[in-house]
């Protein structure tokens, strides 16, 4: 195996802080949990000029000089969550989501940084497009919007994009998401060339020939419903290919939205061999199985598809043992016109920003499959690390992105809880535990329950 041959991280963008000069915000009496610095204690947070000023208990004098005091008694104080896989549909499909509405969904879910995928219309495959999205995000968004550029021009898999030029204007990763890079030689070149940028190459692992027009997991339920299946090997073979390519040619491969248990095993095996690989899974893959499709429920249709209970178990194992680096939502808004259709014709994808934390807590922490620290890591500094941004931490001096959570809140998901422009969640009626109460971006409250 060869390591990366080139210096990583040239020209990485430094995100300017929009914090207000001279302002002081206090978050008092919360339990501050920040796995990036192994912190878990009852203390106060002082925010100065939009940055974390201190994590010490504050004196009465400190309190009196504050512009804003937030009482966090009984609440958890987390670093703002980071989601490295969202679709905000702008430009091209603003009827489903925009940078503005997507950012409101993020804020509602406790997220302060997201990475938007480039499968827009037109796709984000030039420096001009990266700049357009970033500039527009500055005007429209409540949260950090980091941009993922395409690997190939037009996401067609034929010709590499100008990766360095895109990197210089802020692209934080590269992906043809929605589609895989089908040609293995093209993927080899992408992995080699992208080393120049230091940014990861993210792959939506799917062999289209094996998926063969399928619309759900191939297995017993698909047979029962008479629907064409997408086999596990459609995902697993491309994961294996990407891992072998990364091992031989170097580069940083990131496997998107793992759904298959076998793919988790492959990543674990290659991580142990020292290959630079990271991966993410989505809350739906650890929460439910393909049984949810029964009744031709198009809100349970996504790609990769919901798998089976043994996959679910392996994904949870992968989250617990560190194989999986991030929980990412693959937030995929679709107007109901694209979902109220016959199952194979309905769009793939579900929204997830508003439910990610509560599902993580209810399904994994409450059930003791993950510790609270592990769960928070998977939503904060570990995804931030995948795309190399200084986020997901409350270290003194870092941007004051903070999420306040009430663990004791029980709530039943209803459409009114959704800030996204689209409402395609399969989790309505679910009783969830733990709720995001308030989200701060650079010290400014952007969501308050």
Just list the catalytic residues.
330
Taking the complex as a whole, the smallest distance from the CB of residue 338 to other proteins amounts, in Å, to: 11
Instruction: Confirm or reject binding of residue 226 to other proteins (CB under 8 A).
Output: yes
Selected range binding other proteins among 163-171, 174-182, 198-206, 227-235, rule: CB under 8 A: 227-235
Residue 323 C-beta-side C-alpha neighbours within 13 Å: 22
Q: Lay out the site mask for other proteins across 295-314 (x = CB under 8 A, - = otherwise).
A: xx------------------
Q: How far apart are CA 287 and CA 257, in angstroms?
A: 14
Distances from the Cα of 414 to the Cαs of 258, 287, 354, 417, 432, in angstroms? 27, 18, 11, 6, 11
State whether residue 292 is helix, strand or coil: helix
Instruction: Go through the chain and tell me how many residues it has.
Output: 449
When the beta carbons of 228 and 398 are compared against other proteins, the nearer one is 228
State whether residue 44 is helix, strand or coil: strand
Taking the complex as a whole, the smallest distance from the CB of residue 301 to other proteins amounts, in Å, to: 11
Question: To which residue do tokens 């195996």 refer?
Answer: 1
CB 93 within 8 A of CB 121: yes
Taking the complex as a whole, the smallest distance from the CB of residue 113 to other proteins amounts, in Å, to: 38
Selected range binding other proteins among 117-125, 224-232, 408-416, 420-428, rule: CB under 8 A: 224-232
Q: What is the DSSP string of 293-349?
A: GTTT-GGG--SSPP--HHHHHHHHHHHHTTSS-EE---B----GGGTSS-GGGSPP-
Omega within 30 of 0 (cis) for the link into 122: yes
Q: How far apart are CA 315 and CA 320, in angstroms?
A: 9
When the beta carbons of 249 and 343 are compared against other proteins, the nearer one is 343
Determine which residue in the list 100, 225, 244, 320 makes contact with other proteins, applying CB under 8 A: 225
Subset of residues 128 to 187 that bind other proteins, contact rule: CB under 8 A: none
Q: How far apart are CA 88 and CA 100, in angstroms?
A: 9
Determine which residue in the list 33, 58, 77, 222 makes contact with other proteins, applying CB under 8 A: 222
Determine which residue in the list 342, 368, 415, 429 makes contact with other proteins, applying CB under 8 A: 342
Taking the complex as a whole, the smallest distance from the CB of residue 224 to other proteins amounts, in Å, to: 8
Total interface residues for other proteins by CB under 8 A: 20
Determine which residue in the list 198, 229, 250, 383 makes contact with other proteins, applying CB under 8 A: 229
Q: How far apart are CA 110 and CA 96, in angstroms?
A: 21
364 DSSP assignment:
I
Instruction: Confirm or reject binding of residue 80 to other proteins (CB under 8 A).
Output: no
Q: How far apart are CA 115 and CA 280, in angstroms?
A: 13
Q: Lay out the site mask for other proteins across 247-286 (x = CB under 8 A, - = otherwise).
A: ----------------------------------------
Q: Lay out the site mask for other proteins across 199-218 (x = CB under 8 A, - = otherwise).
A: -------------------x
Determine which residue in the list 341, 369, 409, 430 makes contact with other proteins, applying CB under 8 A: 341
State whether residue 425 is helix, strand or coil: coil
Q: What residues form DSSP beta bridges with 48? A: 24, 51
Determine which residue in the list 33, 47, 173, 227 makes contact with other proteins, applying CB under 8 A: 227
Q: How far apart are CA 214 and CA 262, in angstroms?
A: 19
Selected range binding other proteins among 150-158, 191-199, 223-231, 364-372, rule: CB under 8 A: 223-231
Selected range binding other proteins among 57-65, 181-189, 221-229, 326-334, rule: CB under 8 A: 221-229
The secondary element (H helix, E strand) that includes residue 116 is strand 111-116
Instruction: Confirm or reject binding of residue 340 to other proteins (CB under 8 A).
Output: yes
When the beta carbons of 223 and 367 are compared against other proteins, the nearer one is 223
When the beta carbons of 270 and 343 are compared against other proteins, the nearer one is 343
When the beta carbons of 236 and 354 are compared against other proteins, the nearer one is 236
The values of phi and psi at residue 41, to 5°, are: -155, 160
Taking the complex as a whole, the smallest distance from the CB of residue 336 to other proteins amounts, in Å, to: 11
Residues of this chain that bind other proteins (CB under 8 A) = 218-229, 295-296, 340-345
């Amino acid at each position: 195996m060869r390591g990366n041959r080139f210096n990583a991280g040239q020209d990485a963008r430094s995100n300017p802080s929009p914090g207000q000069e001279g302002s002081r915000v206090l978050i008092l009496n919360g339990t501050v949990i920040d796995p990036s610095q192994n912190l878990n204690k009852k203390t106060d947070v002082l925010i100065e000029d939009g940055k974390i000023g201190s994590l010490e208990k504050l004196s009465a004098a400190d309190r009196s000089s504050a512009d804003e005091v937030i009482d966090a008694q009984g609440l958890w104080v987390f670093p703002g969550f980071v989601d490295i896989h969202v679709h905000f549909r702008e430009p091209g499909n603003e009827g489903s989501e925009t940078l503005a509405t997507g950012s409101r969904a993020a804020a509602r879910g406790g997220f302060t940084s997201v990475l938007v995928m480039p499968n827009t219309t037109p796709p984000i495959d030039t420096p001009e497009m990266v700049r357009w999205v970033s500039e527009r995000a500055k005007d429209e968004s409540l949260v950090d919007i980091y941009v993922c550029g395409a690997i190939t021009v037009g996401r067609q898999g034929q010709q590499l994009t100008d990766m360095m030029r895109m990197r210089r204007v802020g692209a934080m990763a590269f992906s043809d998401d929605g589609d895989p890079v089908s040609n293995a030689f093209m993927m080899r070149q992408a992995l080699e060339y992208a080393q120049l940028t230091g940014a990861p190459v993210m792959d939506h692992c799917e062999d289209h020939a094996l998926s063969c027009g399928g619309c759900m997991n191939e297995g017993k339920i698909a047979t029962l419903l008479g629907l064409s299946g997408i086999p596990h090997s459609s995902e697993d073979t491309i994961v294996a290919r990407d891992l072998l390519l990364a091992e031989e040619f170097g580069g940083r491969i990131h496997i998107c939205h793992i759904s298959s248990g076998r793919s988790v095993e492959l990543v674990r095996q290659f991580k142990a061999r020292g290959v630079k690989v990271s991966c993410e899974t989505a809350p739906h893959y650890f929460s439910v199985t393909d049984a949810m499709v029964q009744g031709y429920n198009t809100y349970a249709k996504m790609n990769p598809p919901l798998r089976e209970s043994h996959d679910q178990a392996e994904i949870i194992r992968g989250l617990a043992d560190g194989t999986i680096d991030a929980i990412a939502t693959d937030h995929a808004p679709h107007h109901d016109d694209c979902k109220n259709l016959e199952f194979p014709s309905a769009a793939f994808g579900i929204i997830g920003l508003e439910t990610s934390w509560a599902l993580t807590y209810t399904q994994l922490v409450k059930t003791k499959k993950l510790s609270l620290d592990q769960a928070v890591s998977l939503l904060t500094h570990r995804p931030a690390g995948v795309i190399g941004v200084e986020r997901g931490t409350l270290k003194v001096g870092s941007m004051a992105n903070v999420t306040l959570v009430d663990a004791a809140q029980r709530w039943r998901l209803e459409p009114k809880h959704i800030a996204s422009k689209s409402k395609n969640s399969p989790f309505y009626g679910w009783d969830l535990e733990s709720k995001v109460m308030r989200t701060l971006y650079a010290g400014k409250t952007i969501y308050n329950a």
